[in-house]
Structure 1
Amino acid sequence: MDKNKHLQRHPIWHMVRSILIGVLVVVIAIGIVIWTRSLRQKDQLERQREVLADVLDREGELGLLELAGVTVNDIFYGEQGVSVFLGDMSAYSYSAEEMRNIAIYELANKSVVHITTVSIGLNTFLEVLPVQGTGSGIIISEDGYILTNAHVVQNAAQLHISMHDGANYEASLVGMDVENDLAVLKVELPPQVLLDPITIGTASTLKVGQKVVAIGNPFGYDRTMTIGTVSGLGRPVRTENNTVINGMIQTDAAINPGNSGGPLLNSRGEMVGICTTIHSTTGGSQGIGFAVPVDTAISVIPDLIKFGKVMRGWLDITMVQLDPSIVEYADLPVSGGLLVSQVRPGGKAEKGGLKGGTQRVQYGSAIIYLGGDVIVEVHGEPVSEYADLYSALVDTHPGETVEVVVIRKGEKKVLQVELVERPEGMEWTVR
């Protein structure tokens, strides 16, 4: 008989086979149970994630941690993640927000100076008397350059700088940009004196609602710190000399007389703006202050140090701002813009195609020429008055070519015109 057939009929073999089948069935059953349980756990985890995500959306990180039974006193959000302060607040001397404010002040305080100006004025009896003013300034270099507002130092006969340690020095005006209300001063220091320049940030990443800090000398109170938020961005603000500073930062941080020229800082202690003006009916802070973006200052500081002014581009033409009387008299098809009265013979504007007028007329105390182009757009910005042209060319330089849109005999023409250096005193403009 075949040995294999004999083994298949042997009782022990049947027992072994039954055991193996049983073990296999048990293993499969256990596998099914484990797989089913893992599916349930996965489903539970997914539901938990959904619940936690909902709590996070509604309550934020604070609500999520409190749901987990964690007592949270403060949370600080930074580039490295989220810092959480736990436990009883009696264990801490300061909250996270307070520590952040203290750190900002300690980082920037030594970079802020108190500026005292002396100018010459006349009293009611026409007697010459010294007039004292105050403001703030920002140390921007170790070799003594200080940034402030133009209106703080304009017309000053003497400038004095008071440092954080009480040391006083005389300063000189290096350069001034009235249109952006910025000026650079210089102090000559003994070799052993070391300055602490401000840490410069950028205003390009600011968000409305972000915390900002102002440090300055309001009403002569040295190194006063006020805290607020960014209330608005990109604000055009018309200054007292009728120019418009674009891109201004609006803040509700208290800015008062004496804060002018001081820094506006972010939560890292970086300067993002230069406090310059307040909107007030009483002369004090009413929750609307403005600061020049630090990026604007960075763009003009090199020119102020090198040339004493900003080398801006301009059109070498004589312009007249349109008013209803000129529009009606010349029968113009536009109500606003700058009339090109004359172009400089052989100049850049003439080479670029701009046309002046030929009809000589008396306009007030000046002689103007009608019949020329009417400028309605420059460098991509609409132009209806002088302030618009200043704004359009504020970031340009001599030698650059800009697009100028004009109305000529009722038709729109687009010209490419090379800019010249803006003349001192604006002798090419008829106001």
Structure 2
Amino acid sequence: MKLPKVTATIGIFGFFVALTVQAWAYTRDEENNMELYERLAPGVVNITSTILERDFFFNIIPKKGVGSGVVIDKRGYIVTNHHVIEDASKLEVTLANGEKYTARLVGSDPDTDVAVIKINAPPSELVVIPMGDSDNLKVGQKVLAIGNPFGLGQTLTTGVISSLGRSLRSPTGALVENVIQTDASINPGNSGGPLIDSSGRMIGINTAIFSPTGANVGIGFAIPVNTVKRVVEEIIERGYYAHPWLGATLLTLFPDVAEALHLPVRRGVMVVEVVPGSPADRAGLRGGNMQAQVGNYLLLVGGDIIIRVEGKETAQAEDVIRIIRRYRPGDRVRMDIVRWDGSRERVTVVLGERPRTNRYRW
């Protein structure tokens, strides 16, 4: 606990004592925290979502949820998590000054857990939080999280980047990569709020915590801002994010399976099924055409085995998906494959745009 510094001056006759109280002395770190909160907190909004559910008697019961969002420009665009607005029939945004606005959903991408909503508020009421760069972050770097946990109003928590390059499952089960791990407290209601660096730039969107109890235990995760920027730009432009699409069902080839099937390679990614007319089909990739039992598993085999994509070895199905995600629809991707007969070829796939309603993910 800090105490004010007190000095006493005694007059020559001892008739008076003059007390001088020195102002509170804050550390540079504290001053940085306070300055950033005062400047940026007005750019963090509270989002209340109303979801219509039915009870046992099929009566419609409104159910409310809360989350946070970040104002990203003066036009009223706000970025948040997909799971904050998922299935909402009504969205209400409360600014830091208490003003409330009905928001409309611009679009969302469940695979990255990013959503964009918009309000019609005067530009003078909107404080924009600038976006930074998440490619050059360092473990140990100071971060701040601003949000609205438990609906108590805006709060600030601080911490450091605990780890980088984490992977996290989105609400759809898709793998979100390069996730930021932090020990800054993130609690229910913080979802969709910004993770900020010491210069006042947003480096991530707080999205989840790891906790056996549901409360913060010092392990929180944020979607990197470079992912957010890429997705948000497209959502604003077209209402959704266009994922690259190969058009094939993939399965990791394990050494024991390769040995049991007498394959010429021990590791790679089996093409189990190819969607007719898909980019994979047009490139000449072949899926399985016969069934084989390996242990307790019945596999569809006979298709190609992908061993490299753009020169990078692919030992697991996730490796292929990870590389493809770096490209956009229309890009050309080279793949080195091994045919079922042992011959090796290189094919070029022109990636398509993944259908928005399709059971084939890749």
Q: TM-score, normalised by structure 2?
A: 0.83
Question: What residue number does 2:5 align with?
Answer: none
Q: Does 1:384 align with 2:316?
A: yes
Counterpart of 1:356 in structure 2 is 287
Matched residue, 1:26: none
Give the number of the structure whose residues are more often strand, by fraction.
2
3-state SS, counterpart of residue 426 of structure 1: coil
1:267–1:320: structure 2 CA closer, same or farther, 3 Å change rule?
closer
Counterpart Cα distance in 2 of 1:339 and 1:421: 19
Pairing 1:129–2:71 present: no
Q: What does 1:6-405 correspond to in 2, within 5 Å?
A: 90-189=22-121, 191=122, 193-317=124-248, 319-321=249-251, 332=263, 334=266, 337-342=269-274, 344-345=276-277, 348-359=279-290, 370-379=301-310, 380=312, 382=314, 384-385=316-317, 387-405=318-336
Using the TM superposition, give the Cα deviation of residue 383 of structure 1 relative to its aligned residue in structure 2, in angstroms.
Answer: 5.5
- Alpha-carbon distance between aligned partners in 1 of 2:315 and 2:60, rounded to the nearest angstrom: 43
Distance (whole Å) between structure 1 residues aligned to residue 136 and residue 279 of structure 2: 38
- SS of aligned partner of 2:287: coil
1:381–1:392 Cα contact (<8 Å) kept: no
**Alpha carbons of 1:117 and 1:316: their partners in 2 closer, same or farther (altered >3 Å)?**
same
SS state of the match for residue 218, structure 2? Answer: coil
- Is 2:192–2:205's contact at 8 Å kept on the other side of the alignment? yes
Count residues with an aligned counterpart.
335
CA distance in 2, matches of 1:342, 1:298: 32
Distance in 2 of aligned mates of 1:89 and 1:226: 30
Q: For residue 322 of structure 1, report the CA deviation from its aligned partner.
A: 5.6
> Any idea what the Cα deviations from partners look like across 1:192-220, whole Å, max 9, x if unmatched?
75311112211223211111000001111
The Cα shift of 1:407 comes to: 2.7
Deviations 1:331-390 (A, max 9, x none): 655566342423535x5434433223444899xxxxx964221334445363523x5444
Please give the alpha-carbon distance, in whole angstroms, between the structure 1 residues aligned to 2:123 and 2:217.
Answer: 43
> How many Å apart are 1:280 and its aligned residue?
0.5
Is 1:416 the counterpart of 2:348? The answer is: yes
Q: Which consecutive residues of structure 1, in runs of 5 or more, have no partner in the other structure? A: 1-87, 363-367
The alpha carbon displacement at 1:315 in A equals 1.2
Alpha-carbon spacing, 1:121–1:145, altered in 2? closer, same or farther (3 Å)? same
Contact conserved, 2:51 with 2:63, CA < 8 A, in 1?
yes
Query: Amino acid of the residue matched to residue 420 of structure 1?
Result: G
Q: CA distance change for structure 1 residues 90 and 205 in 2, over 3 Å: closer, same or farther?
A: farther
Which residue identity is paired with 2:61? L
8 Å contact kept, 2:111–2:173:
no
Alpha carbon RMSD of aligned pairs, Å? 2.9
**Secondary structure at the counterpart of residue 125 of structure 2:** coil
Task: Find the aligned partners of 1:361 and 1:406 in 2 and give their Cα distance.
Answer: 21
Structure 2: distance between partners of 1:389 and 1:233: 21
Instruction: Give the Cα separation in 2 of the matches to 1:355 and 1:94.
Output: 67
Cα distance change on mapping 1:278 and 1:89 into 2, 3 Å:
farther
Contact 1:336–1:376 (CA<8 Å) still a contact in 2?
yes
**Matched-pair contact (CA < 8 Å) for 1:209–1:231:** yes
Q: 2:37 is aligned with what amino acid?
A: Y
Between the two structures, name the one with larger relative contact order (CA 8 Å, sep ≥ 6).
Answer: 2
Residue 203 of structure 2 aligns to a residue in which SS?
A: strand
- Amino acid paired to 1:198: I
Q: Percentage identity across aligned positions? A: 39
Change (3 A) 1:169 1:276: same
CA contact 1:114–1:162 (8 Å) conserved in 2? yes
Q: CA deviation at 1:329?
A: 8.6
Counterpart in the other structure of 1:18 = none
Q: Secondary structure at the match of 1:179?
A: coil
